[in-house]
Amino acid sequence: MKILLYLMAIMSLMLANVHKDADTASCKKCHPTITKEFEESMHKHSSIYNDKIHKAVWDLHPAKAKGDYKCSKCHTPNAKTKEEQTQGITCLTCHTIKSITKDSKSNINNYNGEKKSFYSAEAGREKEKVVYKTTTSWWGNKTTVGSAYHDIDYTNKDFYTGNVCMGCHSHKQNSNQFDVCRIEEDGAKNEKENCITCHMPKIEGSATTVRISQKHSFHGFSGARKNSKMLAKYVDIDFVKNSKGFKITVENKAPHNLLTHPLRVVKLKTNIFRDSKKIELKTHTFVKIIGTDSKPTMPWLATEVVKDTMIKAKEKRVIDFEENLKSGDKIEVILGFYVVNPKALKKLNLEGDKEISEFKILKSQNFSVE
């Protein structure tokens, strides 16, 4: 009897804490694969304690002296203490978003506030709400439905279109009423292709140990900082030889700019390999720079777009090369990026940081000249 009471007490504590620790121990018990992916993601590392770039920008922000950390709305939405801030975004953050309120400055996440009630999406279950319950048959056999840790609501349409992402990822306006960054919401309207299907693609492995499935949605969240190679399939590179030289076409199949953050810089590097020699051609740069008075500034000071050569949504960017090609030449095309514009590293005190300053390859392709 004492053992039974002890087990019941432990279970009660676990259930009481599931809403508080929905990103760690409680979720990990039934979702080990998803939790492992999530703990390596930028969502998990979104706070100033885990994201060096975010901290570098915050260290220069005038609001830091006042302790007015408004970034917490998206970077640490569930945190009430410093310890909780280190957790960044949690499982609880996304799975309790009930709806999105649109606002000119930045959209707002509305959370359900109900303990143990989480939203999710699964094809074929769009009308289901799974509530935990146990029933007993006439013969005394017990049948359990749902999870003892939480109920699951599959009816929230925002989890099927990707609109659930738009509370934080739509846009951010500074005090000058200037959009520091913006992602068009066209990519969060279609159930077949949207933010979730691109950045959380279906991969091998079960979502839970309770009900085994062949695949699950990737919770590492592919993006510029993490798992960027998973996004390479949304970029096509083509080569055409002509009388003046050749053309390289870069097609961005995404419903938003190739990279959306104002600190990012995209580079196209092209090389010719001829008779065991490497000929490096001009590097082409694609960037969106914000600032004021035609000069780059920190985001909170910006009033205008200083320069914008970034490859746009659904755009095919054609780059002309006037180099004459010979039969047998090999053309190497490398499309990559810097997560922080090299020109901004000194200002942000990030010089010498290899992970931030290195050139990351998004996609590379080779072509042969006949």
pLDDT in tens, 81-122: 888 888 899 999 999 999 999 999 999 999 998 888 999 999
Decide if pLDDT at 13 tops 50: no
Decide if pLDDT at 14 tops 70: no
pTM: 0.88
At 5 the three-state DSSP class reads helix
pLDDT in tens, 281-321: 999 999 999 999 999 999 999 999 999 999 999 999 999 99
Average pLDDT on 183-194 reads: 92
* All structural domains of the chain with their residue ranges: 90-217, 228-368
The count of other CB atoms within 10 Å of the CB of residue 278 is 10
Backbone angles phi, psi at 237, to 5 degrees: -120, 130
Chain CA centroid to CA 214, Å = 24
Amino acid at site 188: A
Residues near 69 by beta carbon (within 8 Å), at least 6 away in sequence? 58, 63
Q: What is the pLDDT of residue 240?
A: 97
Decide if pLDDT at 259 tops 60: yes
Q: What is the pLDDT of residue 2?
A: 43
The residue ranking higher by pLDDT, 183 or 133, is 183
**β pairing state of 265-274 and 284-292:** antiparallel
pLDDT in tens, 120-171: 999 999 999 999 887 777 777 777 778 888 999 999 999 999 999 999 999 9
At 201 the three-state DSSP class reads coil
Q: CA angle, 151 as apex, 149 and 156 as ends, to 5°? A: 140
The residue ranking higher by pLDDT, 1 or 48, is 48
Average pLDDT on 366-370 reads: 96
Q: What is the pLDDT of residue 4?
A: 38
Sign of CA dihedral 284, 287, 292, 297: negative
Cβ–Cβ under 8 Å, residues 247 and 319? yes
* Domain made up of 228-368: CATH architecture: Sandwich (2.60)
Q: What is the DSSP letter of 232?
A: G
Tokens of 197: 């299907």
Query: Where is average pLDDT lowest: 21-35, 187-201, 239-253, 352-366?
Result: 21-35
Q: Of 180, 186, 139, whose CA–CA distance to 162 is shortest?
A: 186
Distances (CA, A) of 171 to 37, 42, 59, 226: 26, 18, 22, 21
Distance CA 91, CA 30 (A): 13
Q: Which residues pair with 71 in a beta bridge?
A: none
Q: What is the pLDDT of residue 81?
A: 85
Confidence of residue 24 (pLDDT cuts 50, 70, 90): low
The H or E element containing residue 26 is helix 25-30
Q: What is the DSSP letter of 19?
A: T
Chain CA centroid to CA 16, Å = 30
pLDDT in tens, 202-226: 999 999 998 899 999 999 999 999 9
Distance CA 267, CA 282 (A): 10
The H or E element containing residue 59 is helix 52-60
pLDDT in tens, 29-62: 999 999 999 999 999 999 999 999 999 999 999 9
At 360 the three-state DSSP class reads strand
Residues near 252 by beta carbon (within 8 Å), at least 6 away in sequence? 234, 235, 258, 311, 312, 313, 314, 315, 316, 317
Q: What is the pLDDT of residue 146?
A: 81
Q: What is the mean pLDDT of the chain?
A: 91
Residue 83, Cβ density class (10 Å: 0-12 exposed, 13-18 middle, ≥19 buried): exposed
Residues near 223 by beta carbon (within 8 Å), at least 6 away in sequence? 42, 199, 231
